[in-house]
Structure 1
């Protein structure tokens, strides 16, 4: 198996790009295009799983692209962290694709035309995989640009005024982030003569402290914008909710975590000796609190969950900022949890919009009676996101708080308090949202939806009369199935929390002692 692993490493990037080309060729044959896209992403998921088990057993795997050996050439590196992120992202990406294709097949508005959606989506997948596997900063930049360019297209599908306006904001912010990142790469290369991450881990520590600090801050600002860390998170709640439901789901669940992944690499491989612990902890606390306060002020479910997304980025940054093995392990576990749970919740919200005609709590109501299955699908990830025991959200937060307590520092304890308050407020917001959208009579809504009111009244009459009743508006079975798979995956994170925590801990130990990574990339013997 170990001989096979290097062959597999480039495939999560290469296969989606090939798939995107085939999807363009088959643009007039939507069925064939769908089959190609699903097969490609299924293959990527299987390959990612094999890589994860192989890397966990045999150590990091390195592939030099084009035969140019590192540090001169471009390298792809699969270690425990990148392989774990590939597995989670490939599962989410595949389920969202199935959901999106089902929505398109049942959507007369044709907001997400397959001929445009599939190629763009596959390029986005390739960019995400390239970012996770990148062994040098410039290739990481290329990965970012690949999925950002694709995301520009996906965000503005349908070309409505609202989406174009949100897309402009997203494009401008992303370009600023990319310019900062590219400038940082240029200065780093001028200072060290390399952009290879393994080589930089040795050379950056030789620079004067003030130069290290400038480079460190530049990278964190660039990645902080992508990860939506306060005060660089202003763009997210306005950009994500306007996109089609599957696009919002994959953006919210995955793209911000690529920024967190880059920050983890920055803090452990590049600047392990140049700590910005205090500013990062403060940013984590502000991200938690400001994000959840924004959620409380909203009445539109997509915007509510978008603000909650921002607030929970703070938990991941908290674990990274602690800089300990336990803190990093908790951050990795919580990142995996959040990718899956956030995706599941946004997919469920997409079905709420289809079933109720809106995602505004001012007009929704009665969905518990009208669509019990949808209520359960929404309720499970909502509870998980709130950190209710025994779900993975609770486990991840307990692990983060335990890491903070073991740090014996007043600032870490302050973060624990902020995290606890944020968790309680998340539960309040989720409970309020569920009550308004699912429990109450739709006639009691501030802006009643007449169709929901009439359907709810008809359902009550049928129940009183003991007659059968059939919903007027249904949700496609494949959309329900795709969302259910992601919800089940979120439950699996709880059931198998022990093995996942052990894997996260091993990944964190590798990050804290990157000898294996560096020696493997640069040709050492110790793997």
Structure 2
């Protein structure tokens, strides 16, 4: 942060911003600029995929540099408009936001590369790539903002973009899915806005660090439990937590597979991120009071999600229910609130971004190889591609929380945290969910890959033959970090622990926002 002028009551920025501090807003700037340029180049459809991929690669480099800076120097803050916080609007990157931004941008880059074969000329003409860039501006903005009202703004940005991506193609199923998705998300947005209005009325500020500092002094006079409960409901709806999760499986199977991969990997994790930021960092006392409610929501979300997956024959619907059960596992760490539990939630969110996106891309590969999304019609993929079968097995093991996949270690951390805290029912639900997920995905593997090809089912005539390298490359690109996280998890666990410590002890975050020592 730059120095302040005492004559201006410490409110006005008087020094230049250091060049390295621009990293905190670089991902958002790149996304917005790239989206605008793609609109200007809308008639050059052939080059849009390559241009979008190049911009996402640049965005990934900026996020990676930001994460390295944060891990070495602590939280990085930049405040807009020459007004210091809490007067100005701040971007604030800590280990949690920066690490989520890196993984989310990596997933978006792989999806952009995959979209070159999945998005046809019509999809490009109707704006798939500008919508993708707008969505990533919202995603990165949500992870990197230090102002809770601007968190609402970035939610709206990626929500608008997701509507455009969801209905791309204008098929009846897409319109139906978008309607359910839109109504529930708009209701959650309204609750978010109401809670933020209450928050501003109580605190007179929307800066997260300022709120975290002032909360203890206002706990007896302000309706903090009401505000925390509203945030739990609003962000729980965004994350597809029980009982407001029915919109997700009704919507995520309808768009293009690359869009479903983006949504399954990223959007629910932003809801989980917002819950961590609001309830663990800002309202820890209220989170503790709500812990039993959150625990039951987590258990029911896990069980309903995995039971829904077991009931499906369409692999896209099945993977949508697995997204829901994963949200329940992440909520387990929120319910516990311990350093180990929050670390497990953060690591599981990273795992889920990679694995859920990989599952949806795998669904597209299964359709291209087997001719359908239905388990009643799929079969014989092993004979057609031993390599794809091996990749699918690794992804399924990771999703089930089995070695050598990435899902093992966060589940171990969460189960141990639950047992340490006396939450035997929560630990049992985590283990039972993993077991039932193994059954659901084992059924997919046996029926779609291992058994002989089915001759009764009609083959989808819209499927176009594509080079196998175009199928394999995105899946392998996601599978490599999934396996690396499972085999050598130490560095990932260390980052998750740093992110957890930064949420629970906000001293470093507050000091970065208010370097003079006060708000």
Fold match (TM-score > 0.5): yes
Q: Deviations over 1:33-68 (max 9, x none)?
A: 333312211111011111111111101110112222
TM-score (norm 1): 0.91
Q: Deviations over 1:289-310 (max 9, x none)?
A: 1111111111100111111110
- Provide the residue aligned with 1:41 in structure 2: 56
- Provide the residue aligned with 1:493 in structure 2: 485
CA distance in 2, matches of 1:124, 1:309: 19
> Which one of the candidate residues 280, 292, 302 is aligned to 1:278?
292
Residues 130 and 143 in structure 1, CA contact (< 8 A), matched pair in contact too: yes
Q: Residue 242 of structure 1 aligns to a residue in which SS?
A: coil
> Which one of the candidate residues 388, 408, 424 is aligned to 2:435?
424
RMSD: 1.9
- Provide the residue aligned with 2:78 in structure 1: 63
State how many pairs are aligned: 497
The Cα of 1:312 is off from its aligned counterpart by 1.3
TM-score (norm 2): 0.92
Q: Deviations over 1:464-522 (max 9, x none)?
A: xxxxxxxx944452342122101112112123301110111111111111011112112
CA distance in 2, matches of 1:204, 1:475: 57
CA distance in 1, matches of 2:257, 2:224: 42
CA distance in 2, matches of 1:65, 1:248: 34
- Provide the residue aligned with 1:361 in structure 2: 375
- Provide the residue aligned with 2:11 in structure 1: none
Pair 1:348–1:232, CA change in 2 (3 A): same
Residues 371 and 459 in structure 2, CA contact (< 8 A), matched pair in contact too: no
- Provide the residue aligned with 2:14 in structure 1: none
Residues 30 and 115 in structure 1, CA contact (< 8 A), matched pair in contact too: no
Pair 1:476–1:30, CA change in 2 (3 A): farther
The Cα of 1:399 is off from its aligned counterpart by 1.0
Q: Residue 205 of structure 2 aligns to a residue in which SS?
A: coil
Aligned pair 1:75/2:123, yes or no? no
Q: Residue 523 of structure 1 aligns to a residue in which SS?
A: coil
CA distance in 2, matches of 1:392, 1:163: 32
- Provide the residue aligned with 1:330 in structure 2: 344
Pair 1:67–1:478, CA change in 2 (3 A): farther
- Provide the residue aligned with 2:105 in structure 1: 90
The Cα of 1:102 is off from its aligned counterpart by 2.5
Aligned pair 1:523/2:515, yes or no? yes
Q: Residue 112 of structure 1 aligns to a residue in which SS?
A: helix
- Provide the residue aligned with 1:385 in structure 2: 399
Q: Deviations over 1:127-164 (max 9, x none)?
A: 00000011111100011000000000000110001101
Aligned pair 1:448/2:457, yes or no? yes
CA distance in 1, matches of 2:221, 2:81: 36
**Structure 1: which 5+ residue stretches go unaligned?**
453-471
The Cα of 1:450 is off from its aligned counterpart by 6.0
Q: Residue 71 of structure 1 aligns to a residue in which SS?
A: coil
Aligned pair 1:123/2:146, yes or no? no
Q: Deviations over 1:265-309 (max 9, x none)?
A: 112221012221111111111111111111111110011111111
1:406-421 correspondence to structure 2 within 5 Å:
406-407=420-421, 409=422, 412-421=423-432
1:155-170 correspondence to structure 2 within 5 Å:
155-170=166-181
Aligned pair 1:230/2:222, yes or no? no
Aligned pair 1:212/2:204, yes or no? no
Residues 118 and 257 in structure 2, CA contact (< 8 A), matched pair in contact too: no
Aligned pair 1:437/2:451, yes or no? no
> Which one of the candidate residues 270, 275, 291 is aligned to 2:305?
291
Aligned pair 1:99/2:147, yes or no? no
Residues 103 and 476 in structure 1, CA contact (< 8 A), matched pair in contact too: no
Residues 395 and 405 in structure 2, CA contact (< 8 A), matched pair in contact too: no
- Provide the residue aligned with 1:458 in structure 2: none
CA distance in 2, matches of 1:209, 1:273: 14
CA distance in 2, matches of 1:169, 1:197: 31
CA distance in 2, matches of 1:141, 1:171: 16
Residues 139 and 154 in structure 2, CA contact (< 8 A), matched pair in contact too: yes
Q: Residue 127 of structure 2 aligns to a residue in which SS?
A: helix
CA distance in 2, matches of 1:359, 1:443: 13
- Provide the residue aligned with 1:261 in structure 2: 273
CA distance in 2, matches of 1:85, 1:68: 28
Q: Deviations over 1:82-113 (max 9, x none)?
A: 11001101110100001012323xx5xx5632
- Provide the residue aligned with 1:144 in structure 2: 155
- Provide the residue aligned with 2:408 in structure 1: 394
- Provide the residue aligned with 2:37 in structure 1: 22
> Which one of the candidate residues 164, 178, 181 is aligned to 1:153?
164
